[in-house]
Amino acid sequence: MRPGFARWLAAGVLAAGIPAAILLGGAAPAAAQGFPSKPVRFIVPITPGGSNDVVARAIAQKLTETWGQPVVVENRPGAGMNLGAEAVAKSAPDGYTWLLGANNIFAFNPHMGRVPFDVFKDFAPVTTVAVVPFVMVVNPSVPAKNVAEFIAYAKANPGKLNYASSGNGSPQQLAAELLARTAGLSLQHVPYKGAVPAITDLLGGRIQLFIGAVNSLMPHVKENKLRLLAGAGARRFAAMPELPAIAETVPGVALDVWLGVFMPGATPKDIVSKVNGDIIRALGAADVRSSLAAQGIEAATSTPEALAQTIRDDHARWGRVITEANIKAD
């Protein structure tokens, strides 16, 4: 092509809003080239110290080392995780603002009141990063050593057993409610403002049942202050293969608490793809996996498409439970 003609064509197509590089046979630079070139904000919608925060900081540290750019964890709790999620949903879709999201935001909250975003349109799933195993425990005053014995005891004492949660609409409530409805039990829900006070009353005997994160309960199980009955995941935990799942006794009762990384919905796919690969490599590091495992957290990764499907499935499944049980958020 003659240089003069090239200059004329470029001027014309730019005026029409068409990238000249494309029409001239070149390729527009990919959005992911040179990414990241500045610090990344990694928003965790809970207070520091929880499982979500632990996972985010492990990923942030490893990627900071790999990229030479800071990945800065920012805790923004509030409104049942909606506050932090909204901040990400409304951020520039340039790949520099992330969310460490969980079931609550995508599968529970939309069914319990208005959320300030569309969980299907306003976020770009990147990858699942972890599963936080939940377990079913009882106060030792309950004469049950497995799920079947607990069900029999609960049916013999309708309305007399209390179960705790970290708040209305929390995973702990949904897991226990699903068990009660599926097994035909009459249990009383006692919501708390967090898992710590719930576990305190469980240890004291005011609460008889709790289905919660394994890392917060196992120290008390090891001291014989609580009795471990089952895991709450869809299958047995790899780290505890001897522990049966609730679903082995009551089919369909399972709660896998997953954590995932998300970006604003319109983030370029090549940036999402690059971050997906880099996070998977970070979580594949032996030191990261062992550090998380020591805290009862299982590293788990996925494609963006698989995480999107998980959201669709969980949104439909838990929507039915929440609607039928008329569960309302705090």
pLDDT digits (tens, 9 = 90+) for 56-77: 999 999 999 999 999 999 999 9
pLDDT of residue 50: 81
pLDDT of residue 10: 37
pLDDT of residue 294: 87
Considering the domain architecture, whether residues 125 and 269 belong to the same structural domain is answered as: yes
Closest-CA residue to 96 (of 263, 280, 261): 263
Assign 205 to helix, strand or coil: coil
Outline where the chain has alpha helix (H). 3-15, 20-23, 51-67, 82-89, 103, 147-156, 171-183, 195-204, 214-222, 269-284, 286-293, 304-325
Domain count along the chain = 2
- Angle 203-209-210 from CA coordinates, rounded to 5°: 80
Backbone φ and ψ of 46, nearest 5°: -135, 175
Considering the domain architecture, whether residues 148 and 200 belong to the same structural domain is answered as: yes
Residue 56: inside a domain, yes or no? yes
Residue 283: give its domain's CATH number: 3.40.190.150
State the angle between helix axes of 269-284 and 286-293 in degrees (0 to 180), rounded to the nearest 10.
Answer: 70
Assess whether pLDDT exceeds 50 at residue 97. Answer: yes
Closest-CA residue to 64 (of 279, 316, 326, 327): 279
Domain boundary among 199, 232, 265: 232
Assign 225 to helix, strand or coil: coil
Residue 52: inside a domain, yes or no? yes
Cis before 264? omega within 30:
no
Residue 282: inside a domain, yes or no? yes
Closest-CA residue to 195 (of 128, 110, 132, 259): 132
* Burial of 16 from C-beta contacts in 10 A (0-12 / 13-18 / 19+): exposed
Closest-CA residue to 211 (of 265, 257, 155, 157): 257
pLDDT of residue 30: 65
pLDDT of residue 5: 32
Closest-CA residue to 102 (of 166, 179, 177): 166
Considering the domain architecture, whether residues 125 and 178 belong to the same structural domain is answered as: no
Instruction: Please give the residue range of the domain that contains residue 53.
Output: 40-129+257-325
pLDDT digits (tens, 9 = 90+) for 234-249: 889 888 899 999 999 9
Considering the domain architecture, whether residues 169 and 315 belong to the same structural domain is answered as: no
Segment 194-212 shows an average pLDDT of 95
Question: Cβ distance 101 to 129 under 8 Å?
Answer: no
The rounded distance, in Å, linking the Cα atoms of 146 and 246 is 9
Residue 250: inside a domain, yes or no? no
Considering the domain architecture, whether residues 125 and 267 belong to the same structural domain is answered as: yes
Considering the domain architecture, whether residues 151 and 169 belong to the same structural domain is answered as: yes
State the greatest distance between any 2 C-alpha atoms of the chain, in Å, as a whole number: 91
Closest-CA residue to 91 (of 42, 142, 161): 42
Contacts of 279-286 spanning 24+ positions with Cβ under 8 A: 279/59, 279/63, 279/126, 279/127, 279/129, 280/127, 281/66, 282/58, 282/59, 282/62, 282/63, 282/66, 283/59, 283/62, 283/129, 283/130, 285/62
Residue 195: give its domain's CATH number: 3.40.190.10
pLDDT of residue 16: 39
Assess whether pLDDT exceeds 90 at residue 43. Answer: yes
Considering the domain architecture, whether residues 118 and 185 belong to the same structural domain is answered as: no
pLDDT of residue 194: 83
Considering the domain architecture, whether residues 220 and 288 belong to the same structural domain is answered as: no
Assess whether pLDDT exceeds 50 at residue 121. Answer: yes
pLDDT digits (tens, 9 = 90+) for 145-157: 999 999 999 999 9
Residue 103: inside a domain, yes or no? yes
Considering the domain architecture, whether residues 219 and 147 belong to the same structural domain is answered as: yes
Considering the domain architecture, whether residues 201 and 276 belong to the same structural domain is answered as: no
Considering the domain architecture, whether residues 218 and 264 belong to the same structural domain is answered as: no
pLDDT digits (tens, 9 = 90+) for 9-39: 334 433 334 343 333 333 334 677 889 999 9
Domain boundary among 168, 198, 232: 232
Assign 172 to helix, strand or coil: helix
Residue 10: inside a domain, yes or no? no
Question: Cβ distance 66 to 280 under 8 Å?
Answer: no
Give the residues across from 264 on adjacent strands: 123
Amino acid code (one letter) for 161: L
Give the percent of the chain with pLDDT over 70: 91
Residue 79: inside a domain, yes or no? yes
Considering the domain architecture, whether residues 140 and 210 belong to the same structural domain is answered as: yes
Residue 89: inside a domain, yes or no? yes
